[in-house]
Structure 1
Amino acid sequence: MKALKIALAALAALATQPLAAQMERVPDRPAGEGEGPFGKLVIRGVTVIEGSGAPPAGPIDIVIEDNLIAALYPGGAPAGELETAQRVVDANGMYALPGFVDVHGHNGDAAKAPNPSYGYKLWLAHGVTTVRGVSFYFGAGTPDIADARRSAANTITAPRLIPYAVFGDKWAGGAPDTPAKAREWVRWAKAQGYWGVKFFNGSSPEVFAAAFDEAEKLQMGTVAHLAQTGVAEVNAHKAVELGLDDVTHFYGHFESLLKDGLPYYPEDYNYFDEQSRFGWVARLAPQAVEPGEAKWDEYVDLLVDEAVTLSPTFNIYSASRDVMRARSFDWHERYTLPSLMDFYAPSATNHGSYYKDWTSEDEVAWRGFYAKWFDLVKDFHDRGGRVTAGSDPGYIYQTWGFAYIGELEMLREAGLSPLAVIRAATLDGARSLYEPMDKEPPMGRIAVGQLADLVIVPENPLANLKVLYGTGHTRLNRETGAIEQVGGVRWTVKDGILFDAPALLADVARMVEEQRATR
Structure 2
Amino acid sequence: MKAWTLALAALAGLGGQPLAAQMERVPDRPAGEGEGPFDRLLIRGATVIEGSGAPPAGPVDIVVEGNRIAALYPGGAPAAEAQTAQRVVDAQGMYVLPGFVDVHGHNGDASKAPQPSYGYKLWLAHGVTTVRGVSFYFGPDTPDISDTRRSAANTITAPRLIPYAVFGDKWGRGTPETPAAAREWVRWAKAQGYWGVKFFNGYSPAVFEAAFDEAEKLQMGTVAHLAQTGVAEVNARTAVELGLDDVTHFYGHFESLLKAGLPHYPGDYNYFDEQSRFAWVARLAPQAVEPGNEKWEDYVDLLIDEDVTLSPTFNIYAASRDVMRARGFDWHAKYTLPSLSDFYAPSATNHGSYYKDWTSEDEVAWRNFYAKWFELTKDFHDRGGRVTAGSDPGYIYQTWGFAYIGELEMLREAGLSPLAVIRAATLDGARSLYEPLGQEPPMGRIAVGQLADLVIVPENPLANLKVLYGTGHTRLNRETGAIEQVGGVRWTIKDGIVFDAHALLADVARMVEEQRQAR
- Scaled by the length of structure 2, what TM-score is found? 0.98
| Cα distance change, pair 140–14 in 1 and its aligned pair in 2 (3 A) | farther
Aligned residue in 1 for 2:419: 419
Local SS of the residue matching 2:39: coil
Local SS of the residue matching 1:22: coil
Structure-1 separation of matches of 2:183 and 2:346: 40
Tell me the amino acid that sits aligned with residue 419 of structure 2.
L
Deviations 1:250-303 (A, max 9, x none): 000000000011000000000000100000010000000000000000000000
Aligned residue in 2 for 1:206: 206
Alignment check: 8 A CA contact 1:60 1:73 kept: yes
CA-CA distance at 1:8 after TM superposition: 6.4
CA-CA distance at 1:173 after TM superposition: 1.9
Aligned residue in 2 for 1:299: 299
Deviations 1:329-362 (A, max 9, x none): 0100000000000000001111110001000000
Aligned residue in 2 for 1:233: 233
Aligned residue in 2 for 1:31: 31
Structure-2 separation of matches of 1:396 and 1:40: 43
CA-CA distance at 1:15 after TM superposition: 6.7
Structure-2 separation of matches of 1:441 and 1:9: 31
Structure-2 separation of matches of 1:354 and 1:55: 42
Local SS of the residue matching 1:185: helix
CA-CA distance at 1:317 after TM superposition: 0.1
Structure-2 separation of matches of 1:82 and 1:5: 56
1:111 aligns with 2:111: yes
Deviations 1:177-234 (A, max 9, x none): 1000000000000000000000000000000000000000000000000000000000
Aligned residue in 2 for 1:362: 362
1:220 aligns with 2:223: no
| Cα distance change, pair 379–438 in 1 and its aligned pair in 2 (3 A) | same
Structure-2 separation of matches of 1:40 and 1:478: 40
Tell me the amino acid that sits aligned with residue 151 of structure 1.
S
Local SS of the residue matching 1:270: coil
Structure-2 separation of matches of 1:105 and 1:64: 28
Tell me the amino acid that sits aligned with residue 468 of structure 1.
L
1:42 aligns with 2:42: yes
Alignment check: 8 A CA contact 2:19 2:138 kept: no
Deviations 1:390-443 (A, max 9, x none): 000000000000000000000000000000000000000000000001100000
Local SS of the residue matching 1:39: strand
Alignment check: 8 A CA contact 2:255 2:288 kept: yes
Aligned residue in 2 for 1:492: 492
Aligned residue in 1 for 2:151: 151
Aligned residue in 2 for 1:517: 517
Local SS of the residue matching 2:514: helix
Local SS of the residue matching 1:470: coil
Alignment check: 8 A CA contact 2:17 2:109 kept: no
CA-CA distance at 1:7 after TM superposition: 3.3
1:475 aligns with 2:479: no
Tell me the amino acid that sits aligned with residue 381 of structure 2.
H
| Cα distance change, pair 169–26 in 1 and its aligned pair in 2 (3 A) | same
Local SS of the residue matching 2:184: helix
| Cα distance change, pair 492–247 in 1 and its aligned pair in 2 (3 A) | same
Local SS of the residue matching 2:38: coil
Structure-2 separation of matches of 1:221 and 1:139: 20
Structure-2 separation of matches of 1:284 and 1:372: 10
Tell me the amino acid that sits aligned with residue 6 of structure 1.
A
Structure-2 separation of matches of 1:459 and 1:190: 42
CA-CA distance at 1:14 after TM superposition: 6.0
Deviations 1:303-337 (A, max 9, x none): 00100000000000000000000000010000000
Aligned residue in 1 for 2:7: 6
Tell me the amino acid that sits aligned with residue 208 of structure 2.
F
Structure-1 separation of matches of 2:112 and 2:395: 9
Alignment check: 8 A CA contact 1:15 1:141 kept: no
1:345 aligns with 2:345: yes
Alignment check: 8 A CA contact 2:381 2:387 kept: yes
Structure-1 separation of matches of 2:68 and 2:410: 32
Structure-1 separation of matches of 2:484 and 2:17: 45
> 5+ unaligned residues in a row in structure 2: which ranges?
none
Alignment check: 8 A CA contact 1:14 1:139 kept: no
Alignment check: 8 A CA contact 1:8 1:168 kept: no
CA RMSD of aligned residues (A): 1.2
Structure-2 separation of matches of 1:464 and 1:74: 25
Aligned residue in 2 for 1:260: 260
Local SS of the residue matching 2:97: strand
Tell me the amino acid that sits aligned with residue 404 of structure 1.
Y
Aligned residue in 1 for 2:407: 407
> 5+ unaligned residues in a row in structure 1: which ranges?
none
Alignment check: 8 A CA contact 2:113 2:337 kept: yes
Alignment check: 8 A CA contact 2:6 2:168 kept: no
Alignment check: 8 A CA contact 1:22 1:108 kept: no
CA-CA distance at 1:47 after TM superposition: 0.2
Aligned residue in 1 for 2:459: 459
Local SS of the residue matching 2:296: helix
CA-CA distance at 1:172 after TM superposition: 2.1
CA-CA distance at 1:6 after TM superposition: 3.2
Local SS of the residue matching 1:97: strand
Tell me the amino acid that sits aligned with residue 298 of structure 2.
E
| Cα distance change, pair 137–404 in 1 and its aligned pair in 2 (3 A) | same
Alignment check: 8 A CA contact 1:15 1:138 kept: no
Structure-1 separation of matches of 2:302 and 2:26: 42
CA-CA distance at 1:151 after TM superposition: 0.2
Local SS of the residue matching 1:505: helix
| Cα distance change, pair 414–8 in 1 and its aligned pair in 2 (3 A) | closer
Local SS of the residue matching 2:71: strand
CA-CA distance at 1:5 after TM superposition: 4.6
- Scaled by the length of structure 1, what TM-score is found? 0.98
1:372 aligns with 2:382: no
Structure-2 separation of matches of 1:87 and 1:315: 37
Alignment check: 8 A CA contact 1:15 1:139 kept: no
Alignment check: 8 A CA contact 2:9 2:200 kept: no
Structure-1 separation of matches of 2:383 and 2:251: 21
